[in-house]
Structures are given as C-alpha cells and as structure tokens.
Structure 1
Amino acid sequence: MLNKDIYAVVDLETTRTTSESGRIIQIAIAFVQNNKIINQFSTLINPHESIPRNVVQLTGIDSEMVMGAPAFEDVAESIHTMLSGTIFVAHNVNFDLPFLNAEFQRVGMPALDVIAIDTVTLSQIVWPTAPGFRLVDLTSYLSLTHGRPHQADSDALATGTLLVEIFTRLEKLPMVTLQSLADLPLVLPQNTKIVFEKALFKAKTLREPLPKQLQVIDGLAIRRFSNPEPLVSKSNMAYPAKRAAKQQLYGKKLVYREQQAKLMNAINKHYTSDSLSENPGESAFIAEAPTGMGKTIGFLLPFAYLANQTQKKVIVTEPTITLQTQVTETVNSTLHDILPFEVRAVSLKGRRQYLNLQSFKRSLQIDEGTTSLQFIKAQILVWLTETVRGDFDELHLMNAQDKFIAKLSQNANNPTGSPFYGYEFFERQYVLAENAQFLIVNHNYLAEYANELGTSQNKPYLVIDEAQNLPGAVLNQSRHQLPIQTWLARVQTAINLILQDAKPAIGDILRHIIGGEQLKNRLLRSLETLSAEIPQIQVSLYRRFLLNKKAPATQSSYEIALSNNDFAQFWVDQANHVKSIHKAVFNLEDSLQSLLTQFSDAKGVFSLGERQQLADFRRLLDNISQYEKQLTTFQQDLVDFPDASIFWITETQSHDSSNLKLSGGLLHTLNYFEEQVYPHFMSPTIIGATLFTSTKSGYLYDRLNLDKETATVRHYPDIFDFKNQADLIMVKNAPLPTSKDFSNYLARQLVDITTSVNQNTLVLFNSLDTIQQVYTQIQSNQKFQRSSLTLLAQGITGTRDKIKKRMQSEDGLVVLGAASFWEGIDLPGDQLRLLVIARLPFDRPNTVLQKAEEAVISSEGKHPFYQSTLPKAVLRLRQGIGRLIRTPTDYGAVIIYDARILTKSYGKTLRKMLPSNLPQKELKDSEIVQELKDFFDTHHKYL
C-alpha cells in the first residue's frame, strides 16, 4: 500500500491439499507495487508422481503437461530469491505459504521469513455484501478478468488485481472507520491486519475530507439518509391492454409473452370492474401460473397501473425473504425502467432484521473473546459506509451467531439520550414506505402486521404470491412455547447476577445510583416470587395432565394433547398463582425501568463493562417477561380462537428429572383470514405455481377462507415442453419406505445411479434422521469413494443456503435435502439435472397436531386423508418436481422410489396433478441406469 512495498501474489496448484502427501505442479507469482502489477512469473513443476484425476479435472493440468517441466528443487532457489523481502500474498495464505515453505524445507532450503497477508479475509471485510469469497466469485462480482480459474498463472494474476481493488477500496474508507478497524482485536491469518494499519497511516498522511455521502455519528461513519422525494403520479396513464401497446412499453427490456399478457389483462379487468364484493374473502382473483411464465412481472405491471390510477398501495407478500428481495428489485429496476410513471417498492421487515447503531457502538468496546465476533464487527464497520437500510440480509456474514446478531439489533438503553437517536435503521423503512406504491413483505410479516398494513380509508391491494404457503406461515407464527424449566433457570440467573460479587456486577451499579438498595430489594422480591410460583404451575400441569400417563421407558420425550375445556379450567384453578406471576413481572419491569432511568441520569459514572453488564441484565429480564406473556397468550387464544386452537404438553426425561414444555397455537386457519387479514384490504389476488390439489378439490378455498362462488379463477398452461425436457421414472419394485432396509437400499441405488450419470443430483427426504442414515451408507461405499462426486447433506455438511450456493457453482454434487429443499430452490441448467424423491411427502403421522387436525375434519363428517393429508402431499410433490425444470432450455430426470404412487389408489390423484405432458415411466430399479444414460445421451436432440 505504501509505494515502496512490493507484494508477491502467489498461487499454487498441488497434487493434494496437504504438504505431507502433496506436491506442487504449478506456481505463479504476480508482483504488485504502487497499486500496479509490475511483473509476473509462472512455471509448471514436475512432481514426479501421478496427478490425481480430480486435480486434472479441476486444473486441466495432467501428467503429460508436466513431464518436461523442472522439478521443484531446480527452481526453488530462484523462487526463494524472488519472494524474499516482499510481502507474501495469497487467496488463503494459510494454505499457500505453509505448503511452499514445506517444499523449500524438503529440498534443504530455509522457510521464507516474510510478512504475509490473506486476500480471502480482507475481501470478506471490505466487501461484506459480496455473494461469495472464492476467487472465481470475487472476480465475477468485481468484473475482474479471470480467464482460467484453478490454473496458478491465471489465479495469481486475478489475485493480484483483487489486491489492487482491496487497496483502492481501503483508500476510500474514512479515517474513523480505518481507525476502528485498526483498534479491533482482530485475529487474521498471518500478518493480514497490517493492511489496515498501513491504510490508516496513509489516510492520516493525506487527510482527505470525508466523502459527502457519509457522516460521522459518535465515532461511526455511516451513509447519509435523506427523505425520498414525493412520488409524482400520472393518473391519466392508460393501461396497455393490447399486444402492440405492451411491446412498445417493453422496448428491448422485456419480451412479450402471450400467457403473461393474459394474466396481466385478467388482473386489470378484475380490479377495474364494478362488481367486486367488499365482504372479506369474496371476489378473490386466483391464478395458477406455472414456472417460466413470468408471473412476477405478470402481476406487478397491472398493479403498478392500478396503484397509479387509484393512489392505493399494493401489498405483495412472499413466502421467503429471498423472494421478497427479488420482487422489490424487480419493481425498482425492471418496472422502473419501462413504465411511463415513477414506481417504487420498499421491503418491510421486523426490527430484528436491522442493526441498532448504539448497540453496535457498544459492542466495539467489548472483546467477547471470540475471533469470529470481532471479524463480524469489522465487516459491519465497512458495511455502514455503504448501507442505507442497515438490513442484515444485505450481508454475507461468516460464522454469525444468532444471539450476537440479536444483540446488535436490540434497542439499546436510553435511546432518546443516544447520539444515534433519529438515525436508527429500523425507522428508515417506514419513511421510505410513505413514498412507495409497493410494500413487499413476507408471509410471517403479513400474519403479524396485517392490521397495520391495511387502512380503512383507502384499502390497499393485496397480492399473496405462492399463496399455498401462507396458511403454514400463519400457523407457525401463531404457535408458541413455554419451556418452564428454562424460564425458571432464567429467573435464578437473574437472582445470581444481583447477588454476585464478581465485577462488573449489577450490585455495583445499584450501589452507585440513587435509591439503589431499595431497587435491589424490589428486584429480588419480584424474582423470588417468580422462583416460588413458576414451579407451582409446573407441578399443577404435571398432576392434572400427566400423572397417570407416563411415557414408555424407551421414550425420552412424550407429547399429550390437552382438551381445551380442561385447559381453560386449569387456568381458572391456577388464577391465584398466575395473578401472582403477573404482578411479580409487572413489578420487575417497573423496577427495571427505574434502574434504567437512574442509570441514564448518572452520566459518566459507569465503566464500559458495567454498561455491558446492565445491557445483558436487561435482556435477561426482558426474556423472563416474554415467557410470562406466553401465559396470557395461551389464555387469550382460548378466548379468541376456541375452536381453532390446540395445546399440548411435552415431557422430556433427562438424568432422572422431568422437564415440561407447554405449547399451543392455531390448529387450522378456519376463518382466520376472513377475520384477521382480508378486512384490511381490497379483495385479494391469490397466485402461485402450485395452488390446486385436484380439479375439484376445495382445499385451497378452505385453507385461505375464500368464497368459491365469487372467485375469478384462471389456470394457465405449462410453458415448458416436459415431453422433451424431462423424464419421470417411478420404481415399481422398490421396498416400502417404512421397511427396515429401505435406507440401505436407497443408498445403494443412489451410488449406482449417481456414479453412472455424474450429474448434479438432489435427493428429497421427509426426515433428517433418514438423511443421516443414507449419508453414512453412501460415505462408506467404496464405489462412491472412487468416484469424483461430492456428497452434501442438509444438517450434516451445511445449511440449505450454503449447500445451494455450492450447487450453483460446482459440478459432481449429490445433495441430500429435507423440508426446505422441496420448494423455493431455483437451480437451472447443470446446477440440477437429476431429482430423486425418496418417499412421497406425507406429513408425519401420530403427532399431536396431526391427530387433532384429523379429529376436527372427522367431526365435520369429512375424511381426514382426502381432505388434508393427501392434498398436502399433492402440493408438496408438485413443488418438489418443480425444482427440476426452470427454463425453456433446461432438461433433467426425476426418480420416485416410493412404489405407493403406483400401487395405492391415491397414487392416481398424485400422478394426475403432475404436468400433463411429463412422460411417466414405470421401471424396475435394474432398468434405471440405462434409462438415465439414454436420456442424458440424447437430450442434445432437444436442444
């Protein structure tokens, strides 16, 4: 970074990943000085051993290419001389430098004694929002030339260019940010932290003014935020109903699609008619729009015109935050570029999604003793100079702990007295929302804030995208738990914090404020009351509901459903204990508020450690209060949703003790949307790729409280040519998924199939336990070990998002995924060619929830299997198969190993709801490999 420094950017290609067993086959060096690449060196190395096949596949370097190359000992002295006196740089320096030094020492030369820095960790800090940090990811993200990834000469040159970009980025950071980075107790590979110190020294020398887009608040440099300009509506803009009008509007930005245009026109016609009912759930517009049709633009464009003409807002709700972000970007980029009037979208999220500046500022003064947390703070320091919204979803944090992120998003003590008051990110979204037509939320947000999103004066439009997921989101949002033993443990921890002598302590704080001793006694009295009353609730629950219903000795966990009448009577009987708990928590909250007020008034008295101790104590008491609120929620649900709620107790046995957890919430959404959601909006638009479970089923209408008679329904045909693009194989001789040997059988089948076709494969399961069994079997299979395939498993080798990212960029992957892989995964082209469904996606039977739902349906004179179990499975199967074909040029095969789709009467219903032109073949397992080989060998005829 300083002009005299020479950086030697090194990349190695090796036969193996360890220096003990591996040898270098290529070394390249790019020399950087004064932010320019001034020289390059590269040579192949003859390792005098065979190069493994996977290395040849990765690098393109084979044994023949290195046959005439020098041995390492022939070039070692020259390389050592070139690198001595430089600053050693590598993308993963803890691999390249030790490996190279091991090679030097192997040929009798000394290890390099140089300063060394790592571009991986530097990139993670200076570009915290980058989608990935492999060299290929970063060069793509930064639009840098990288012609031959995984060949050392190309990688070294790309890393050298990346290093220059890192230096350039650091030079643009304000001095206050560089100072904070230098002050953080960062533990980075080798000497990497020296880069921040050099950047700070240079900044102090140059003394550049603070960029206009930034401002410094209490030592943090953040992006300035200005209120958006008011939207200028043009209500005279006519909707482009005709094909020619749409094509003129699109220009070269969009391609005209006939089915998409029909969807647009149908929505516009529906909401410009005079026949819309104002009764909740009536006059809905329902559209099943298949993947590839362009449904997002299909509903956004007509609603943009409707919003412009009527001055109504449009609420769009999506099942995931990822889709929420994508739809927001579509409005603000695609629609913005083509519409003749201004259009804006804002994504609304809950408070925990946003960084709290005061909490973050406080965290900078604390060393939690965890290197990963300090690293995250460094990323956030840089991110603050870029972000306008402060939304954690913008970041790609490494090893982020949920508790730590929650701490950074929580309101800090005394916000009105904070220098950050008025600058917090959470409030900015509402300022932006005031001047936007589209408010994009997720299903959980809609379930929680429907009454705030809607207005009685000018009801907004409501678009429920992928609506089949909304009932599940509502049920999950409504359900809550009270782990009684955990609640009691929190209370005891709070008591111990008040009484402990270790410093910093709450007791020290109380001694230094006015009335502190009295506050201490009030806090202890409230906590001791809770400590006495909570066990009374637990004992009463046990005696009333569990005493004569012990779990079998072989089970460590036991569930029992509670009769709503018995549960209601329980709260009547426990009224005195509950009243005492409520009073104790009220006093606890009042005492805490007094403490915070006194603490705020005593400015400058307390140390940083004491401030952090109080913040932690406050979080603990808030947690205790939240558990107490669950008692009220259980009772309120009995009043508000007496017929739709379910409650149950889970008893867990461990070490001769019994822990009880009380759970409850909505069992179904009967009348929920009609009463809680639809009254706040215009008649809803219900849209999705897989809405219906059969041609006659009323499942969708029942679950979403929609009036079938007044609804406008549109089914749009499949866009893809499944006859030529896909192949569905149903295995007719597979053992039942419930059989003891099924996991072993499936593992053997997967090995045979994946090693034969060598395509990216996704295997869908219903159980993480089964994934574990199959994963273990495949990993130990010698045939699979000899292949070049990589096995990934949800919950074992990574999360869904991490595995998905690898599928998007790597070949030869076999992925075992459970619930979250059945939908919301977009893997076109080579990212996914083979989809395997281990068993039909029926809900797990005999759970409390399943039994209760079946009882409700049976009480209505209906059959639970056909009214609930089968429709859910149909939707899930359609969604799962929908993961395969994502574009008009895509192709791939599906295998279903559950023979019940062929042998059971309901199998016909499942098969009938799959794409009509999808070839369905019944084969024996011995015929599958040849069928797949034929399919993949001939797919090019379609292309």
Structure 2
Amino acid sequence: MKKDQIYAIVDIEATGASIGKDERMIQFACVLVKNGKTIETFDSFVNPSRKVSGLIRNLTGISSKDLATAPYFEDIAHLIHQLLEDTIFVAHNVGFDFRFLNECFRRVGMPALTIPAIDTVLLSQILFPKEESYKLKELTASLGYTLNHAHNALFDAKATVYLLNKLDERLKKLPLVTVEKLAELSAATTAETSLFFKHALKEMKEQPIDLDESLIIIEGLALKKPMTDNEQLTHRSKHTYPYKETDKRAQLELMGLSYRESQNQMMNTIFNYYKQETPDWIQFIEAPAGSGKSLGYLYPSLFLSSPKEKVVISTYTKLLQRQLVEENLAKLLEGLPFSKTIALMKSPSQYLSLSAFYSKLKDVDASDTEAIFCMKLLVWLTETDEGDLEEIGLGKTLHHAFWTEVKSVLNAKTPFECFKEVDYLARREKRMEKASILVTNHAYLFSQWRQFPDTFDNTNLLLDEAHHIPDVIEQNATIRLSVKTITNELKQLGSKEKEETLLNDCLELLPSENIKGYQLDTLHSSVAMVSEGWEMWCKKWIDWLIHADSYEDRIVEWKEKTLYFNELPLDIKRDTKFFCRNLEELVYVGQQLTSALNKAEEKLTQKEKRLLSKINAILDHFLTVTKRFNYLFSSVESSNPTVVRFYSKNPLSTLSFYRFDQEVKDTLLSQFNSANHIVLTSSTLSVNGSVSYLKNQLGIENNQLALYPSSYNYAKQAKLYVTTDVDTHAQKNNSVSTSFITEQIERALSKTDENCLVLFRSHDMIQKVYKRLIQRGNLNNRTILAQNISGSTAKIKKQFKKARQSVLLGSDSFWEGVDFPLDELKIVMITKLPFDSPDMPMVKRRHQSMRARGENPFVNDVLPRAVIKFKQGIGRLIRSQEDKGVWIVLDRRFVEASYAPMFLNSLPEDLKVNEQPLDQISEDLSDFFETEE
C-alpha cells in the first residue's frame, strides 16, 4: 500500500444483492487505514423505509428494531461522502459496494464519488492463487483470521482490513521481476485495482531486497527451485517393519496417532502379502468406514517400497489422491525414522508448460481477461513445486481456451532450451522414476494400463475404494464424443477475420515463405463449412430429443436415451455422414498446411512453431473424432447401442454420445489380472460376507478376504429405525410416493434440530419432495438444500457443513465419498433401497449380456450392487468414537422382502433394527440426542 495514503475499507449490507432503484442500504461500515494501521472506524445501521425480508435479517443478524431506530441514508450521506473524500476505496467485491453507494448518493441528489477503487476479491485471486474459496469468511479463515459475524458490515470491513494487509505483505515478498510484470498487466484488473501493484512496485524499486534463496529467475520468470531428491538413498538400508503390537503402538503414539488392533492386523496382512514373491491370489481387505483404513495400508507401504520396487496406490477421486499425499503420507513421514519420495501420478495435461506460458506472456494484451490468468500464474510460479494446474482454483474459468494453450503435452518438443532443466513435465518424470510410492486415481490407472500395458510391471498395487473398479473399467472401455470439446476446438481455429483465433494468427504471418495464402484460404473455407454443419447437427439432435414423447421437461437432471438407428430421423442420419466427410476433408486440408510447416521447421519463427503445435493438436483430435463417429454412428448392433446424454438445463453444451467396447474391457481385465501383487480394499467389498460379486465382475480366479470389525460401539452410538407406517399412495411396484416421503421427513424432524441427509435414487423425486417441503412451510426454521436445485454438489456440501438445522436431499454423489463428522450430520433417511434403474442404458446393456450367458441379472448384479451402495449410505454416519447418529429407512422391503437378509447382514453386528411408527421414532430421536454420554 502507498505510504501515508488513507485507504477506506468499506462494506455495505442491503435489502438485496442487485444495484437498482428497488434495493436500499441497511448498514454502512468503513474502516480508515493508513500505513497498515486503523485510524478511524464508522458504522451505522440505515433505515431503508421498507420491510426487510426474513432471509436478509437472518443473514445479517440485523433486526427490524435496529432499522426502525436508525437514521435514513440522506441523514448521513454528507458525512459518508466527506469521510471518503481523498481516500482509496477498498471493498471485497468493489463492483457491488462502490456502485451501490454511488447509486444511493444519486438517489438523494448528491454527486457520485470519483475516488479510486480497489477490489480485494480480484487481488486475492491473483496473489493467493491456491486458495479454495475467495469468499471473505473462508478466505480470511485460511489466512488466520476468525470472522465471527459474517454479513455484518462492520465485522466484514474489519476482516477486509486484515485481508488487505495480508495482500500487501504477500505482494511485497514477491521478486521484483514478478511485481514488474504484474504492474504491467494490471490494466486488466477492475476499477483502479492496478494502483495496488503500481504503488508496491514504486516502493520496491526504492528499497530493493535480495532474491529469496528458494527462487530462480529464467527469462524474466521467477520460479521456485526444483526440489532435490529427499530419498537420501535410504532405500539401500533396510528398516525393520515393527510386527509387534508394542513396537507399532509406540511408534504411532509418537506421531500422535491412536493404535487400533484391527488396523494392526490390516498392516500385517498387507506386509505379508507383498513379501510373497509370486502370490497366486488377489488380496481383498474390507475395513469399516472411519476405521483408519488409509493408515492401515500406507504404513506398511512405506516400509516395503523403494524406487526399484514401487508401491502404486490408487483411489477413486483426484481429491482423495492429493489428500493421501499432502496429509496422510506427509504426517507419517514426519514421524518415521526414514524418508521416502512420494509422487502424484496423473495426466501430463495437468501440468503447466513453461515454454507455452512464456510464449503466451509475451503476446498477451494487458487489457484482456487472459492477462488476469497470467498474473495469477506469475505468482503461483513462485509457490509451486510440481506445476500441477489443479493446485489453482480456476472455478468458472476452467474451460477457457487459455488453460488448454498453456498445458503440457507428453513428448512435445520444448521450444525454449532455457526451460529444459526446470520443465514441470520433465520434473514429473524424474519424480516418478525416483519415487518409492506413486499415488494415482482409478481412471488414470486404467487409462495407463490400456495405453502402456507394461507400466506396472514389478510394482505392488493397492486399490482403495475398490468397489468402484468394475464401473471404472466400464468407463475406460466406453468410447465417448463430447459436443462441447469439438465446438471449442472449432472456435479456436476460428476464421481469418476473427481476432485471437488460429486462422487469424496465420493470416497475420502472411506473406510467409512457409505458409501459402491459398492453403490458408482453403482451410478457412473448410473450417467455416464444418462449423456451420456442426452447429446445425447439434441443434437437430437437441430438437429431436426434447420433442420426443418420452421427454419430461419438469425434471432438471442428466437425461440418457438409447439410440436405435432405424428410429432416427432421416435428416440426422444424412447430416451425420455429411459432417463426418467434411471433418475428414478439414483434417486433410489442415495437414497440407502443417506438413509444409513441418518440412521447414528449422526455419520457423517461434510464433510459427507455436501455431503449428496448436493446429496439429486440434487436427490430431479431429482425426480421433472421425474414428469415434464411425464407431458410434455406423453400427446397428442392438445388443451394444450408442447412448446420447445431456443435462436438461443446458442441453446443447452438455450433449455427448457414448458406446461400450467389449474388446477394450477384456484387454483391461487381462492386464489387471496379470499384475503380480494386487490389494483391493474398501469399506464395502463384501455382500453377505462374500466378495463373489466383485470377483466375478473382475474375472478374478483366486482371492483371499480379510474382514476387520469396527471399533465403534454402535449399540450406544447409533440407532437404526425402519418405519412401520404404510404408504397408502404407494404404487404396485412398492415405490414410495412424494407425499409419503414429505410427511415422513417433516414428522421425523418435528422434535429435533439436528442436520439430516435424505438419500434418494431419483432426481425426479428429489425435485418433487423439495417443492412440497418449500410449499408446505412446516420446516421454515430449517435450511433445505437439494441436488440440482441448490447449486453444484461441492457448493451444497459446503452450505450443509456451515449451516445448522439443515435438510439435504441428495442422490448418487451423496451416498458415498462425503464425510460429515460430529455435529455436521446426525440423521440419515433412506427413502428407497438403492437398486439401479433397469431403464439406464448401461444397465440394460449389462443385463442383456448376462441373460445371454444364462445369468440372473437381479441376483448376480442388481442385488449385490444395491447392498454395496446401501453399505456406503450407512457409512455416512459414525466416523469417530464421539459421533452419534440415527438412520431411518422408509422402504419396508428392507425387512420384508425375500432378499432382506442380504441387507440386514450388511449392518454392523451390534446395530439393532428398530421397527416403529414415525411418531415414536421422532420421540426417540429427541431423547437419543439429548442423552449425554
């Protein structure tokens, strides 16, 4: 911040979030800061002369009484205007506060403020690029500040003061070369935010400091120095694995970890299995949710692994993958008497290409949105060890073409020799080579297996969340075509006339001895023809799909439809063939231009090389697209049809097609079963004490199963109820009705304030129940959230975790993979047993195949999958010794059906099933949660 300059940190609360004649101010707060110190504070409620909604009152904590006795804005307008004169206005989202305040001044006949304004949201996105959230409360909490009364203007303004000082501190710790580039690009920032960088640069030039020892500068880019190998050659000396309970307990306690006997047994099972030279079985391990399963396999892996005998650990999601490395393994290595190198194994396209970024930085327009991305990366380069772009919170900008252009490409030539030694992709390869443990995710593991069959020779494999493996293999064996990807690539090619497109870039190089004008004209015409045909083709598909008799437009969800080619309209069939021919012609024409450039590669300028690389990448993908078109749309095989999928809220941008390939699946299963050592672990591997379902799905011949009991006291910590109430509106297929579920939720929660997760199997039912709950108003005191209604899954999870007295209506993604510890979740209601819908295209295909083999789809597929899913739903509760929770099952089939024992046997042994009417369950809930342990 500029020395001796006064900064006015402002926050405003209003009757609504829009700027217009209908909204009024209800609180104004301002903290004046000079040289980082508070010199004056002003805070006042403001009478809006109108009723304020209950939502706003609850959000801000401002009562009607507070406002009734407050001054009107016109009474304090002159004071505020005078207070802010000669200051620099600062706000967290200055676009709202500054404009809203000026609108208020205009309304009372006063002149607008013309002082400079700075936005701390944008500053935070640039200077703290790794933060997960840029909301004021979450951001300041991450930086060490506790904001107790968010959405109160004074408390928010004080939090913003703290943030502004942190931003200033961060900026001035950056290398001068970085700050110079930030100031140069800062014209792209909103309002006068660029002043923040320019003032800092001036001060840093007057008082220069030495470059931090952790950084290096190459071609004007300040980078964090590459990490040295921290293995310290300790893999050459053997560390004795502590078999004895006493030794293990002592070591774990030194790390602050509790010892569990089941965990000890799991560790020894894994260690003994990997010590077998050529075991003829695959080891299954089922450990209950919350039992410390991750520690159970990481601990022996660290003792067993070396760079020559790696342990590859795979989990289901990228989030869990990073969590294992940054939290679980990091904590273990702090307490063990040796060091091991750990490496994330993920797609090369996740990493930044320094050469591509350097090229982009030289050409970026300082007034363009991409300048903001460059500023963010310039700061991030001083922080990142790996160059993994997933470290950055990209949010809604994730699909911007900029990020594709700066990503690494495997085997791509490095155009700048200066970056060769620090290239992130090269670092990744070295890390993986030297690492003792590689951590990956299932999707990438099997994609690697498919492309490079020998990748995992001489490695020990451990697959966590292994109940997902059959589906992951199916997904890897499914050929997909995404409309959005092709649309984006055609836009990148663009036209000769459209700025910031590849064809326009080619035009700017003319006259050129390497690019011929007629070649560019031909490619331009071809791209135009394909783009027009592609747009029409996509629109025809959407028009046909949404006007089908079976289409239900009331339900916002992912829609899937099996395609039978004899039922497709003639114009779609014709246009499909026509488009494919045109795309093949575009690839041919494009290759004529790029082949000429390839021949003259040594004479090419850097700009021509970059253009060549970008165009080649798109042409290569289009070549793949033509092959996929032939596979997806040229067959009439009814047993393995193509399926179209789209999200009903925005169908055109989400349209995609997919078709299963049995040959690919067979290859993956063969690779999987030929591995030397494989451990499969999960909290839900078995059905009725057997892993025969997974064994059959994966083609496993020999296996051993280790089952470990839970360490929790379910008899005291939990209750499971099955309602005896009968749904009088139920259909013959035993499905429960909307009115029944709505009433059950209301009655169950009538005497408790605890958070509740309601699990469904139908998006349609979620939306119907949500609508009824809102309309009836019996749960007005609660926050009601619903999948596909209240935002993204990640957003809903955050809202639910922060709120109290919440009800969350969720489907597939909430049955597993999300933890709500302690008070965040106390009640789980299961509306219906989680059987897969037989109408789902992939389910249909799977069942057709099973019937052809003489197998019963319900017994061999539907039922075991439902039991595993149910066990995952049960696992949402009781994750620690302190947890207390209740399950309520509304589906009577759980206790009455002929297959009920399969579900009942999946429960913890000491969890008793209570069958009671809902009113009695409600009474019990109140007593259970009020009882102190």
Could you say which TM-score interval applies, normalised by the shorter chain?
Answer: 0.7 to 0.9
Aligned-residue offset at 1:329: 2.0
Relative distance call for 1:592 and 1:183 in structure 2 (3 A) is same
Deviates more, 1:172-181 or 1:136-145: 172-181
Once the 2 structures are TM-superposed, how far is the Cα of residue 430 of structure 1 from its aligned partner?
Answer: 1.7
Is contact 2:523–2:586 with CA below 8 Å preserved after alignment?
no
In 1, distance between residues paired with 2:185 and 2:522? 39
Q: Quick one: distance in 2 between partners of 1:117 and 1:498?
A: 38
Which structure 2 residues correspond to residues 282-321 of structure 1 after superposition, within 5 A? Answer: 282-307=280-305, 311-321=308-318
Cα deviation, residue 171, structure 1: 1.1
Deviation at 1:672, TM superposition (A): 5.1
Show CA shifts across 1:711-756 (max 9, x none). 3321111233333333334344235487999345545654665676
Matched AA of 1:239: Y
1:723 aligned residue (715, 728, 735) = 715
Matching of residues 19-98 of structure 1 within 5 Å: 27-42=28-43, 58=59, 62=63, 77-98=78-99
Kindly indicate whether residue 928 of structure 2 is the aligned counterpart of residue 938 of structure 1. yes
In the TM superposition, 1:413-432 aligns within 5 A as: 415-417=414-416, 420-432=419-431
Equivalent AA in structure 1 for residue 718 of structure 2:
A
* Amino acid aligned to 1:665: F
SS at match of 2:117: strand
How many Å apart are 1:624 and its aligned residue?
A: 1.1
| Aligned 1:753-832 pairs, distance under 5 A | 757-783=752-778, 787-832=780-825
Deviations 1:324-370 (A, max 9, x none): 01111245421111111112311111022122233334444677999
> Compared with structure 1, are the counterparts of its residues 81 and 820 closer, same or farther at alpha carbon in structure 2 (3 Å cutoff)?
same
Structure 1 segment 152-301 matched on structure 2, within 5 A: 152-184=153-185, 188-230=189-231, 231-233=233-235, 235-250=237-252, 251-273=254-276, 276-277=278-279, 282-301=280-299
Provide structure 2 residue ranges, at least 5 long, that are not aligned to the other structure.
Answer: 552-559, 567-578, 649-654
How many angstroms does 1:870 deviate by?
A: 0.9
Given that 2:583 and 2:622 are in contact with CA atoms closer than 8 Å, whether structure 1 keeps it comes out as: no
Summarize deviations over 1:396-423 as a string: whole Å, max 9, x none: 2231242533333254986335754454
In 2, the alpha carbon distance for the partners of 1:506 and 1:782 equals 62
Matches within 5 A, 1:831-850: 831-850=824-843
User: What is residue 468 of structure 1 aligned with on the other side?
Assistant: 467
SS at match of 1:211: coil
Task: Tell me the secondary structure at the aligned position of residue 399 of structure 1.
Answer: helix
AA of the residue aligned to 1:175: L
| Cα deviations by residue, 1:654-712 (Å, 9 ceiling, x for unpaired) | 9xxxxx98743345998655521243x4321111111112224510211233334xx33
Q: Could you tell me which residue of structure 1 aligns to residue 680 of structure 2?
A: 686
Shift of 1:775: 4.0
Backbone CA RMSD of aligned residues: 4.9
Instruction: Find the partner of 1:886 among 871, 879, 883.
Output: 879
CA contact (8 A) 1:176 1:219 kept: yes
Letter in 1 for 2:931: K
Partner residue of 1:347?
A: 344
Task: Look up the match of 2:670.
Answer: 675
Query: Hey, what's the Cα distance between the residues in 1 that align with 2:585 and 2:180?
Result: 49
> What is the distance in 1 between the residues matched to 2:69 and 2:28?
15
Distance (Å, rounded) in 2 between the aligned partners of 1:49 and 1:578: 61
- Where do 1:521-540 residues align within 5 Å? none
Aligned to 1:876: 869
Amino acid at match of 1:271: Y
**Contact 1:513 1:602 survives alignment (8 Å):** no
Structure 1 588/146 Cα, relative in aligned 2: closer, same or farther at 3 Å? closer
Q: Please, which moves more after superposition, 351-360 or 11-20? A: 11-20
Tell me the secondary structure at the aligned position of residue 804 of structure 2: coil
Q: Which residue of 2 aligns with 1:133?
A: 134
Residue 588 of structure 1 and its aligned partner are, at CA, apart by 5.5
**Could you tell me how far 1:213 is from its partner in structure 2?**
2.7
CA–CA distance in structure 2, aligned partners of residues 340 and 302 of structure 1: 14
**Using the alignment, how far apart are the partners of 1:244 and 1:102 within structure 2?**
71
2:645 and 2:656 in contact (8 A); partners too: yes
Q: Once structures 1 and 2 are overlaid, which stretch shifts more, 350-359 or 142-151?
A: 142-151
Q: Give yes or no for contact 2:643–2:841 (8 Å, CA) kept in 1.
A: no
**Percent of pairs identical after alignment?**
30
The separation in 2 between residues aligned to 1:579 and 1:9, in whole angstroms, is 60
Alignment CA distance shift 1:128-1:314 (3 Å): same
Over 3 Å counting, the alpha-carbon distance change for 1:618 and 1:432 in structure 2 is same
- Per the alignment, do residues 236 and 914 of structure 1 end up closer, same or farther by CA in structure 2, a change over 3 Å counting? same
> Which residue is 1:572 aligned to?
none
**1:668/1:689 CA distance change after superposition, 3 Å:** farther
- Are the structure 2 counterparts of residues 495 and 828 from structure 1 closer, same or farther at C-alpha, using a change threshold of 3 Å? closer
Task: Give 3-state SS (helix, strand or coil) of 2:395's partner.
Answer: coil
**Structure 1 residues 199 and 877: alpha-carbon distance in aligned structure 2, compared to 1, 3 A threshold:** same
Cα distance, 1:73 vs structure 2: 6.4
Give the Å deviation of 1:315.
0.3
> The residue matched to 1:717 in structure 2 has which SS?
coil
Partners of 1:491 and 1:527 within 8 A in 2: no
Give the Cα–Cα distance (whole angstroms) in 2 for the partners of residues 733 and 895 of structure 1: 14
- The answer to whether the 8 Å contact 2:759/2:811 transfers is yes
Q: SS of 1:720's equivalent?
A: coil
Q: Is the 8 A contact 1:837 1:896 kept in 2?
A: yes
Contact in 1 for aligned 2:495/2:528 (Cα 8 Å) = no
In structure 1, the gaps of 5 or more residues are: 543-549, 564-576, 655-659
Q: Check whether the contact 2:473–2:668 (CA below 8 A) recurs between aligned residues.
A: no
Distance 1:806 1:669, change over 3 A: farther
Cα deviation, residue 128, structure 1:
1.6
Q: Within 1, Cα distance between the matches of 2:492 and 2:140? A: 50
Q: Deviations over 1:820-870 (max 9, x none)?
A: 222211121232233333433222213443233223323333211010011
Listed as ranges, the matches of 1:328-343 within 5 Å are 328-330=325-327, 332-343=329-340
Which AA in structure 2 matches 1:256? Answer: Y
Return the offset for 1:509.
Answer: 4.8
2:305 alignment partner, SS class? helix
Task: Classify the secondary structure of the residue corresponding to 1:808.
Answer: helix
Amino acid at match of 1:326: Q
Q: Over residues 101-136 of structure 1, what are the superposed CA-to-partner deviations in whole Å (9 max), with x where a residue is unaligned?
A: 566667776554432222222222211211222222
Deviation at 1:299, TM superposition (A): 0.8
Deviations 1:297-339 (A, max 9, x none): 111111211225x951100000000110111124542111111
Q: Quote how far apart the aligned CAs of 1:14 are.
A: 5.5
Aligned to 1:381: 378
Matched residue, 1:477 = 476
Q: How many residues align?
A: 895
